[in-house]
Amino acid sequence: MTVKGHLEAGALGVETVGMTMRFGAFTALDHVSIGVEPGSFHALLGENGAGKSTLVKCMMGFYHATDGQMMVDGREVAVPDPKAAHALGLGMVYQHFTLVPSLSAAENLVISREDAPRVIDWRREKAALTAFMARMPFAVPLDQPVRALSAGEKQKLEILKQLYLGRRFLILDEPTSVLTPDEADEVLGHVRALCQAGKITVLMITHKFREVTAYADAVSVLRRGKLVGSGKVAALTHADMARMMMGDETLAEPAPRAGAAGAPILSLSGIRARDRSGLKEIAIDRLEVRAGEIVGIAGISGNGQMELMEVLTGQRPVTAGDVRVEGGPYHATREEARVKCVRYLPEEPLHNACAAKMSVTENIGFRSFDVNGSGTRFWLANGAMRRQARDLVAAFKVKTASLDAPMASLSGGNVQRAVLARELTGEVDLLIISNPCFGLDFTAVAEIRARIMAARNAGAAVLLMSEDLDEVVELSDRVLVMSEGRITYECSGAEADAVEIGHHMAGHA
């Protein structure tokens, strides 16, 4: 396979030849050769841990490949560090934002430039930036600090930054994981247009087949560090790609739905709370979740879901209204949560539901370490805690080096599994979940969704907040949409229509 150099409008062709990366005895990349034609939109598919990140980190000079070469613009190049990659015109948009939160968008753009002037003439720079924005297919506010931007705006700014820096080969690491379907279509549509115009070449890491078929020209699939397939997207079906990605592994089936909704468990009325910025208000007039049903709240991140979650977990005070669980008032104290069997899986569980530096055993024991029958205990029952942790780690397939390893050493999916193991143990009447599958791979997603469904079938009331619309529609008996801190739409899970919901999410009621 030989890849052409570059197009007249600037797009670069890039090729890896036999790229191999070993960490000690572990081979993360095994002779991976992929060719990305100039001006093409190339998708890189694979499960978590398949080596996608390692591959692009080698390409960008974060890692030094153990073996193999890289060709840029038809010539063999050495990329000792990211600076060298940048100089070649290679850029990357990371999964985690790399913008500086306290700097404004304009400051972020100017300072990221290699030739940022010693003294910045803001009037001139602002004029230049405004002119640049006018040429771009999408825009973001320039003067606000980045921390005040929504996730979608941050992602757009990340891409704009790369274009502003004159990069001609762009690696996008799951760029749409934080965007709504509409936003994702908008952003990817613009990126594709830039590719077709021959201005840039794109290599996109993704989990979403829909994005591959809708936007990509070619696809390469990695599994366990090996290139297991590649080709033109037009010649492949979703089933082909899934087969390449998963090999012969079988997926956990979501448990079938059983039973009808019972008595109301959670009811909110007239809730008012300040949002993160302290400027806007969260207003939930009425929200009810019954036993044996999953109520899904869809919405773009930053529309009050996080604040609602914090109200329910007791992390955020309400200014008015009340939360009732099983008919009684609920203030999310530990005591109340135990008596009423309320369990949580908040987003970013490592941060919101774990003590990161404490061990897996201790974290799994958080619900029960001080319980002794119906009373409390002073001395810990270390043996029982260990046994419980060992059983749960096995039952929920948590991959950890040891039970004494700090929670922070686990990967995202395993932290999620460990917290879920803790929260789903014992009687569960109300389960409140936020983004349970964010950033997880295929197998983990299917398994976690099946567990949630099983809890519902066992009679728990489940409130699910998720930015992934497919997830909400797949799991929920009722679907609500949250926008601007309010619930703006409701329908049953069966009649959910992605377009209708998408419009309410985007605030087009």
Residues in contact with another protein by the rule CB under 8 A: 81-83, 86, 94, 96, 98-103, 107, 110-112, 116-122, 274, 276, 278, 316-317
By CB atoms closer than 10 A (0-12, 13-18, 19+), residue 433 is: buried
Which of these, 263, 336, 271, lies nearest to 309 by C-alpha position? 271
Minimal distance, residue 86 CB to another protein, in Å = 7
Given phi > 0 = left and psi -120 to 50 = alpha, else beta, which region is 225? left
Q: Of 9, 7, 3, 11, nearest to 167 (Cα)?
A: 11
Q: Are 346 and 353 in contact (CB under 8 A)?
A: yes
Residue 64 in 3-state DSSP? Answer: coil
H-only helix segments in 165-206:
181-196
In sign, the C-alpha dihedral spanning 256, 258, 261, 266 is negative
What is the Cα–Cα distance from 406 to 479, expressed in whole angstroms? 37
Least separation in angstroms between residue 274's CB and another protein is 7
C-beta of 276 vs 340, nearer to another protein: 276
Structure letter (DSSP) for residue 268: E
By beta-carbon proximity to another protein, the closer residue of 274 and 386 is 274
Please report how close the Cβ of residue 221 comes to another protein at its closest, in angstroms. Answer: 27
- Given the complex with another protein, which of 101 and 247 has the nearer CB atom? 101
Is there a contact between 105 and 140 (Cβ–Cβ < 8 Å)? yes
**Token pair belonging to 201:** 């070449």
Neighbours of 344 (CB within 10 A): 22
Which residues contact residue 227 at a Cβ distance below 8 angstroms, ignoring those fewer than 6 apart?
Answer: 31, 32, 33, 34, 220, 221
- Shortest spacing between CB 117 and another protein, in angstroms: 6
Residue 379 CA: distances (Å) to CA of 56, 383, 425: 50, 12, 22
Nearer to another protein, 42 or 86 (CB): 86
Distance between CA atoms of residues 179 and 172, nearest Å: 14
At its nearest, how many Å lie between another protein and the CB of residue 111? 4
Supply the minimum distance, in Å, between the C-beta of residue 168 and another protein. Answer: 18
- Minimum distance from residue 347 beta carbon to another protein (Å): 19
Longest dimension (CA), the chain: 75
Amino acid at site 1: M
- To the nearest whole angstrom, how small is the minimum distance from the Cβ of residue 151 to another protein? 16
Q: Of 416, 386, 417, which is closest to residue 402 (Cα–Cα)?
A: 386
Taking the complex as a whole, the smallest distance from the CB of residue 279 to another protein amounts, in Å, to 11
| Half-sphere exposure (Cβ direction) of 206: Cα atoms closer than 13 Å | 26
Smallest distance from another protein to CB 262, Å = 36
Q: Which one, 75 or 96, has the nearer CB to another protein?
A: 96
Amino acid residing at 472: V
Instruction: Kindly tell me which of 117 and 166 has the beta carbon lying closer to another protein.
Output: 117
User: How far apart are alpha carbons 243 and 221 in whole angstroms?
Assistant: 10
- Which tokens belong to 256? 């079938």
Of residues 121 and 285, the one with the C-beta less far from another protein: 121
Nearer to another protein, 22 or 274 (CB): 274
Two tokens, residue 8: 């007249």
CB nearer to another protein: give 112 or 213.
Answer: 112
How far apart are CB 398 and another protein at their closest, in Å?
26
Alpha-carbon separation of residue 338 from 69, 325, 382, 428, 436 (angstroms): 58, 12, 21, 10, 22
Q: How far is it, in rounded angstroms, from Cα 448 to Cα 459?
A: 17
Query: What is the secondary structure of 277-314 as a DSSP string?
Result: TSSSEEEEEEEEEETT-EEEEE--TTSSHHHHHHHHHT
Q: How far is the CB of 315 from another protein (least distance, A)?
A: 10
Provide the β-strand partners of residue 322: 269
CB of 352 to another protein, least distance (A): 16
Nearer to another protein (CB atom), residue 96 or residue 135? 96
